[in-house]
Structure formats: C-alpha cells, structure tokens
Amino acid sequence: MSTPTTGPDVLGAPVPRRDGRVKVTGTARFAAEVPMPGLLYAAFVHSTVAKGRITGLDVAAAENSPGVALVMTHRNAPPMAAPPAFALHPMGASGDNLPVMRDDRVRWNGQAVAVVLADTQERADRAAELVTPSYAAEPAVTTWSAAKARGTARASNYGMPLTTVSGDADAALSAAAVSVDHTYTTPRESQNAMEPHAATVVWDGDTLVVHDCTQLVSQVAVSLAEVFGLRPDQVRVSAPFVGGGFGGKGLWSYLILAAAAARMTRRPVRAALSREGVYRLVGGRTLTEQRVAIGARADGRFDAIIHTGLMAMTEHNAVPEAVTSATGALYAAGSFRLEVDRALMDTVANFYMRAPGEAPGSFALESAIDELAHELGIDPVELRLRNEPETEPVTGRPFSSRHAVEAYRAGAERFGWSARSAVPRARREGEWWVGAGTAAATYPYVRFPGGAARLVLQPGGRVGVEAAAHEMGMGTATVLAQITAERFAVPLTAVSVSYGDSTLPGVIMAAGSQQTASLAAAVAAAHRELVGGLLAAGAAAGTGSPLAGCTADTVATRDGGLCRLDDPDAWEPYDALLARAGLTELRAEQAAPPPAEMGAWSIHSYGAVFAEVRVNDVTGEVRVPRIVGSFDCGRILNARTAAGQFRGGIIMGLGMALMEETQVDGRTGRIMNPSLSEYHLPVHADVGDIDVIWTGIPDPRTPLGAHGIGEIGIVGVAAAVANGVYNAVGVRVRDLPITLDKLL
C-alpha cells in the first residue's frame, strides 16, 4: 500500500510515526535520560503507616552513607505551597492538594517522608534504606467496608453533582415486564505506563527547568510556579517524549520534592521512580461498586435504567470515577436515575486512568444489558439496536454525528456474531468451553479551551508548527504534521513539528481524548491568521499578482502555494508570496476558537466490542483469542496510529477484564503487589488477534470531522469478555477481574 504524503489524501493515510525510529533505536531522550553535569539521584523513603505523625526520623546513617549529598525531610525542606489540584484550579496538575513535606503528618501508606540524594542511584537507594522513621499511628480508613461505614456523599465532577434523573425510574422498574437488578464491582488499579514516572530538574538562577514525563506541560509549569512562589515564566517544563500516560502523568509529589531538593543542593536532581515508587506515590483508578437495574417491555425497549455507583476517593482530590457517563449517552429509556456517590479512604489520591468513569461504568451497564438480553430471550446485539436513541437521552440534545448502529452491525458481521450460540455451554473444544460476548462503548467528545498554535512559513515551502502538545506514543507529532501539511498543501516532509514544552503556545492537555481536536482547531486558526498576514503584506496589494485583492476568505491552498478560491489556476507558490511581502519567513500564532460545538451538540465516540472467550474446564483459565472492535469516531486522521490507539485501549481492557487489581492490606493500607510480577498486565502471550474497523464518517461539527480515539478502546472490553465468559460456561462474574477462582 502506498502512503500519500501530500495533497488532500494526507489526512487519514496510514503515515508511520515520526517518533518511531528514535524510539526503536533508543535515541529518543526521555526525562530520566537527560544528561546533566553534577547530577544527584533521588531515592524516596515511604511511610509504612496510613495515618499519623512522624515521631522520629533518624537520618544520621543515611547522611554518612557514601555519596550522599542531602537527606531532605519535613525538618529541612524549603517552604513550598500546596500544589493546586487537578479539577480544583484552572491550571491544577496535581493529583491532590496536600502540602508536600511541610509537616510531620502522614496521610497515606507510601507517602514520601524523606528524600535521599546521592551521586548514583544505587548509593541513594542504599542510603534510603538506612533512614529509620518512627510513627505515632492513628486510626485510618483503609478498607472499603470501613469507608462505607464512615459515610457516603454525592460525588461532584468539576463542581457538578453526579446526579441525573429523568422520570420515575424506580416506579418504572417495579412496573416493568422484565427486569434485571444487580451489583457489580471493579477494583483499584495502579498506573503502569511503560516509562515509570521520572523527572530531571535543575535551577538556572531563579528559573526552574524541568525535564518531565507529563501529559500536561503547561499545567505542570503553572502549578510548580505556585508551589515555589515563582512567576509562571520562571518555570519551563519540557517533555518531548513520554512513555505512556493514560491519565497518570500529572504532577505528583516526587517532582515537587526533586525541585525542592535541587534548590537546596544547588545541583541538578533526577527523580526516577522505581516501579514500586509509582504505586506508592502516583494514584490510579479507584474501586467502584455499582448497581444497574433495567426495566424493559417484552419487546426489549427500556422503560427504566437505574445506575448508581459508589467509589472511593480521598479528602484531598477531586477526580471521581464518573461511572454513569456512558449510561447517559448510549440508550433510549423511558426514565433514568443515575447517581455517583463517594466514600473517603486514607490512600494515595485516586486519579484518572484511561476512560475514567466509562471503563468501569461500562462493565456494569453492559453486563446488565447482557443479563437482560438473556431474560428477554433477545439477541444482545438486537437488544442494543432496539434501544438506539434519536437524540441524546435525558438532555434531548441533537447528535452531531452518530453512526453507532452502523458500527455495531459492521462489527457483528466482521466477528461472525451470527454463529454464536444463544445458549451458554453449547460449544466445547477439548478442555475449552468456547463463547462469545459483546458490549457497546462510548466516550464523550471533548475540546478544552486553551488550544493555540504557532505556524512558521519558511523558504522553500517549508512549514514549522509549534504547540505545547504531547507525544506519549500515540502519534501526536505525526498527526500534527499531517494536519499542517494538509492545511498548507505541502508535502509531509516539508513540515517540522515542535511540541512537548511549556514555552510553546497553548494549553493542550493530552487527556480526555481531546488533544487532536484542540490542535486541529488551533492550526486552522493560526493558518487563517498566517494566510491573511501573507496576503496583506504582499500579494493582495501587489500589482501583477494572481492573488491581488484576495483575503484569507477568498483563497485556498494548493500545491505548495495559494490560489483563488474561484479560480484555482490563479496560483502562486509560497516563496513568491513571501518575496512579494519582502519576507524570508512569516510567523503567526493564534488561539483556537472556544469549543462551542460541545454545548450545541451531543458529540460522542462510539464503539462495539466483540470477544471470543475460551474457559478451561479443568483450570478455569480464561483466554481471549480474538476481539473485534468496531468504532464510529468521526473522521480517522491516521489509519495506522488510530488502529494502534484502538488496539492499545482494547489490550488495556483485557487487563481490566482478567488481571488488574491493586491489592491493599486492609490492616495497614499498604499496597501489597507494587510490581509487574505481582500486578498482572496482559503480555504478548495474553493478547490474541485484535481486529479494528471504523465507520470513518466525518462529523460536520468538529475540527476536521474527528472525534477522540484515545480512550474509547478500553470501554466495553471488560463487559464483552464477561459476557463471553457467561456464554462459554454459564457463569456470571460481576466482580472484576475475572480470575480463574471465580470460575471453578
């Protein structure tokens, strides 16, 4: 297959990743690899109680250990303000708003109580073992039952209570011809990006320079400025390569401590967390307990959907697991009651992890729909299609572009759904029971305000694009180059891309599956500005120019230049236009327009997941040899990187379905499996054939017609697997992960 590299076909083409070669050859420099003369390495001492006071911190042995430059504790750490928390402050990046190393308080088991700096990582690690804290422990809430007993309250998301009520769902449920009503649970999960969290920091006078692995450079810079009492321009955060984020690469205490320690020692500091360190200091997905009750008519149409969730948070963070988000978007129903409550625990702050809300929420909802399908004797695909809404449920807002039914039908066809037995335990191959399950998926379209980009038109029809965006491995640099090449009608090779630095334009989080929309809107705005400027400075005023009198509104781009919209033959290349303007290059920077499309329309990505599931009759092991993901996510801007995003999300969903669970010792609140040997993730041997397809229908309301694709891949996968397990062996598992003990 040939890959278009210019012209109108460059968008959507399977363009290989720009960062691919430097990553596979090991020359991409990650945050923990930035060389610095005189570098000190940080090691962290973690509390071993969940709550209480530090009563003793003997640091003498550590201070006298070879190579040690500093042992920092709350006794000698410099003044620092509490970091602004994500979702509580417009530029908050921190997982929580707790002060870092300001007092003798311990708030979770694993909190950093001392930082040791030494001239090698090994010497720092050794010295950290010599620090011997003692504690006056206080009663802590470290079990889910204790948290619930302490009391629950309605959770809020960005200040909005997570409550949606339409009609009388409880009455409708009681009156329904057929109903299901079950409780589902999902466990705590920890962040396990391939690159553990790391930063290399150095003070340049009063300026803090941070090489970080973040997915929100601008917010981290502003948040660090607040912590250290600096102007925002006194902090520079650079993160050109990020080895996976999934929501976890925000601002966490290790980075604040590294910056403080660098200030104290007047030397550069590297804080590269061990895998265990990530579990102790970085929050992951919280646990949930959900009730889903659906009342239906005999023909399958829903009269009532009740979905209530209870999940754990801490007092100090503001990111609930909004488990009902998908429920409010997927199905028509006569009435709804959707509510999310929280109970507080003394743990590291929970945080966002790929499709927070939708991933655990869809496990409950889509399992319940499967259960209802069996009660009704209706095929699970057909049941979903019968409840397809015409407008957004509850709000009644019009859909901008919804082709969920097409995606469902295409996925069912591709998978071969019609060959599935409706009756469980119908197919066996040797020791293996074979089944199939399906689930629907959705994820909201988001475009945060703050998108901006700078474009630089250079000699020879070269274009530079600069934005404070992030490359976490999903293809940002590549797609940004495609978007820019298409705008200018220049070859991909003529576009250079700068990103991953807080000094670049825009506030562009790689989160909420919104980065590409933000960039597309910003590039379009900056391009318009640049073209207008180019015409105003030269051709528009010039005599003899084919573009005389033109404005940004009356030209188009074609073949490395501009032409009249009404006469494509009236064309000039960029070099000629720059020459008319007396310029060697031209820059334009512009903010994206406010995301008005989000208020006016119901905009979502959609998907349908189909899983072939095998359960071993002897051992209870579950295998998933085959998954089909069929998506409706607007226009796909790069067929190769999009497929990678979908597959990656599906694999993460397999982990959620079958393996992932952060084990906490209820007596102490300590995470007991902080390693990849004890916290299981899918490895290659666990991943079978994953086939992804999409409708590719552009959305007329969104930048470039695209929807987000970063998170929807994980949504629905756990339910599809659970439903497949039921189809294989007739056992309904309502508690993730589906481990073999639950099937024997």
Extract the tokens encoding 445: 């379209």
- In sequence order, what are the residues at sequence separation of 6 or more whose Cβ sits closer than 8 angstroms to the Cβ of residue 101? 72, 73, 74, 77, 80, 112, 113, 115, 253, 257, 260
Contact flags string 679-718 toward ligand MOS, x per CB under 6 A:
--------------------------------x-------
Is residue 326 close enough to count as binding ligand MOS by CB under 6 A? no
Which is nearer to ligand MOS, 189 or 572 (by Cβ)? 189
Choose the stretch contacting ligand MOS; rule: CB under 6 A; options: 228-236, 348-356, 404-412, 611-619.
348-356
The CA-atom distances, in angstroms, between 144 and each of 19, 262, 345, 360 are 43, 39, 8, 17
Which is nearer to ligand MOS, 99 or 240 (by Cβ)? 240
Q: How far is the CB of 511 from ligand MOS (least distance, A)?
A: 3
Contact residue for ligand MOS among 42, 348, 353, 588 (CB under 6 A): 353
Secondary structure of 459-473 as H, E, C letters: HHHEEEEECCCCCCC
Choose the stretch contacting ligand MOS; rule: CB under 6 A; options: 90-98, 243-251, 305-313, 417-425.
243-251
Q: How far is the CB of 448 from ligand MOS (least distance, A)?
A: 11
Q: How far is the CB of 250 from ligand MOS (least distance, A)?
A: 9
Structural contact between residues 693 and 628, judged by C-beta atoms closer than 8 angstroms:
yes
Tell me the C-alpha distance between 402 and 93, whole Å.
33
Extract the tokens encoding 230: 């600096």
What residues between 612 and 671 interact with ligand MOS by CB under 6 A? none
Tell me the C-alpha distance between 557 and 511, whole Å.
31
Which is nearer to ligand MOS, 352 or 631 (by Cβ)? 352
Q: How far is CA 361 from the centre of its chain?
A: 16
Contact residue for ligand MOS among 311, 359, 410, 511 (CB under 6 A): 511
Contact residue for ligand MOS among 228, 254, 352, 606 (CB under 6 A): 352
- In sequence order, what are the residues at sequence separation of 6 or more whose Cβ sits closer than 8 angstroms to the Cβ of residue 393? 166, 328, 329, 330, 331, 332, 333, 336
| Burial zone of 677 (CB within 10 Å; 0-12 exposed, 13-18 middle, 19+ buried) | exposed
Contact residue for ligand MOS among 95, 245, 505, 561 (CB under 6 A): 245
Contact residue for ligand MOS among 283, 461, 506, 512 (CB under 6 A): 512
Is residue 386 close enough to count as binding ligand MOS by CB under 6 A? no
Is residue 456 close enough to count as binding ligand MOS by CB under 6 A? no
Q: How far is the CB of 653 from ligand MOS (least distance, A)?
A: 14
Which is nearer to ligand MOS, 512 or 713 (by Cβ)? 512
Q: How far is the CB of 283 from ligand MOS (least distance, A)?
A: 12
Q: SS3 of 134, please? A: strand
Q: How far is the CB of 512 from ligand MOS (least distance, A)?
A: 5
Choose the stretch contacting ligand MOS; rule: CB under 6 A; options: 242-250, 375-383, 457-465, 657-665.
242-250
Is residue 440 close enough to count as binding ligand MOS by CB under 6 A? no
Extract the tokens encoding 42: 């940080």
Structural contact between residues 462 and 488, judged by C-beta atoms closer than 8 angstroms:
no
Choose the stretch contacting ligand MOS; rule: CB under 6 A; options: 21-29, 135-143, 353-361, 606-614.
353-361
Amino acid at 342: R
Amino acid at 597: E
- In sequence order, what are the residues at sequence separation of 6 or more whose Cβ sits closer than 8 angstroms to the Cβ of residue 534? 457, 562, 574, 577, 578, 581, 586
Residue 200's DSSP bridge partners are 211, 270
Which is nearer to ligand MOS, 268 or 716 (by Cβ)? 716
Which is nearer to ligand MOS, 252 or 571 (by Cβ)? 252
Q: What is the DSSP letter of 743?
A: G
Tell me the C-alpha distance between 48 and 132, whole Å.
11
Q: Which of 730, 658, 711 is nearest to 687 (CA)?
A: 658
Which is nearer to ligand MOS, 354 or 487 (by Cβ)? 354
Q: SS3 of 334, please? A: coil
Choose the stretch contacting ligand MOS; rule: CB under 6 A; options: 241-249, 486-494, 541-549, 587-595.
241-249
Q: Which of 604, 704, 599, 608 is nearest to 401 (CA)?
A: 604
Q: How far is the CB of 612 from ligand MOS (least distance, A)?
A: 28
**Which of these is catalytic: 486, 589, 661, 711?**
711
Whether 711 is catalytic is: yes
Contact residue for ligand MOS among 41, 203, 246, 694 (CB under 6 A): 246
Q: How far is the CB of 664 from ligand MOS (least distance, A)?
A: 21
Which is nearer to ligand MOS, 482 or 645 (by Cβ)? 645
Choose the stretch contacting ligand MOS; rule: CB under 6 A; options: 148-156, 347-355, 368-376, 393-401.
347-355
Contact residue for ligand MOS among 356, 538, 542, 607 (CB under 6 A): 356
Q: What is the DSSP letter of 704?
A: G
Amino acid at 639: A
The residue count for binding ligand MOS (CB under 6 A) is 11
Q: How far is the CB of 622 from ligand MOS (least distance, A)?
A: 26
Choose the stretch contacting ligand MOS; rule: CB under 6 A; options: 349-357, 379-387, 544-552, 598-606.
349-357
Extract the tokens encoding 284: 């992951």
Cβ atoms within 10 Å, residue 491? 17
Contact flags string 195-224 toward ligand MOS, x per CB under 6 A:
--------------------x---------
Q: How far is the CB of 325 from ligand MOS (least distance, A)?
A: 12
Is residue 252 close enough to count as binding ligand MOS by CB under 6 A? no
Which is nearer to ligand MOS, 341 or 711 (by Cβ)? 711
Tell me the C-alpha distance between 538 and 39, whole Å.
51
Which is nearer to ligand MOS, 215 or 314 (by Cβ)? 215
Q: How far is the CB of 477 from ligand MOS (least distance, A)?
A: 17
Q: What is the DSSP letter of 414?
A: H
Tell me the C-alpha distance between 91 and 218, whole Å.
8
Strand boundaries in 325-476, DSSP class E: 336-344, 428-429, 432-444, 452-458, 462-466
Structural contact between residues 375 and 304, judged by C-beta atoms closer than 8 angstroms:
no
Secondary structure of 266-318 as H, E, C letters: CCCEEEECCHHHHHHHCCCECCEEEEEEEEECCCCCEEEEEEEEEEEECCCCC
Choose the stretch contacting ligand MOS; rule: CB under 6 A; options: 62-70, 190-198, 351-359, 371-379.
351-359
The CA-atom distances, in angstroms, between 641 and each of 20, 533, 632 are 11, 34, 16
Tell me the C-alpha distance between 74 and 54, whole Å.
10
Choose the stretch contacting ligand MOS; rule: CB under 6 A; options: 26-34, 143-151, 245-253, 728-736.
245-253
Contact flags string 120-159 toward ligand MOS, x per CB under 6 A:
----------------------------------------
Residue sitting closest to ligand MOS (CB): 247
Which is nearer to ligand MOS, 127 or 353 (by Cβ)? 353
How is 642-697 classified by DSSP, letter by letter?
HHHHHHHHHHHHHHHHHT----EETTTTEES--STTTS----GGG--EEEEEE--P
Contact residue for ligand MOS among 196, 244, 247, 475 (CB under 6 A): 247
Contact residue for ligand MOS among 354, 402, 454, 470 (CB under 6 A): 354
Tell me the C-alpha distance between 124 and 68, whole Å.
7
Structural contact between residues 19 and 500, judged by C-beta atoms closer than 8 angstroms:
no
Tell me the C-alpha distance between 207 and 228, whole Å.
10
Catalytic residues: 711
Q: Which residues bind ligand MOS (CB under 6 A)?
A: 215, 245-247, 352-354, 356, 511-512, 711
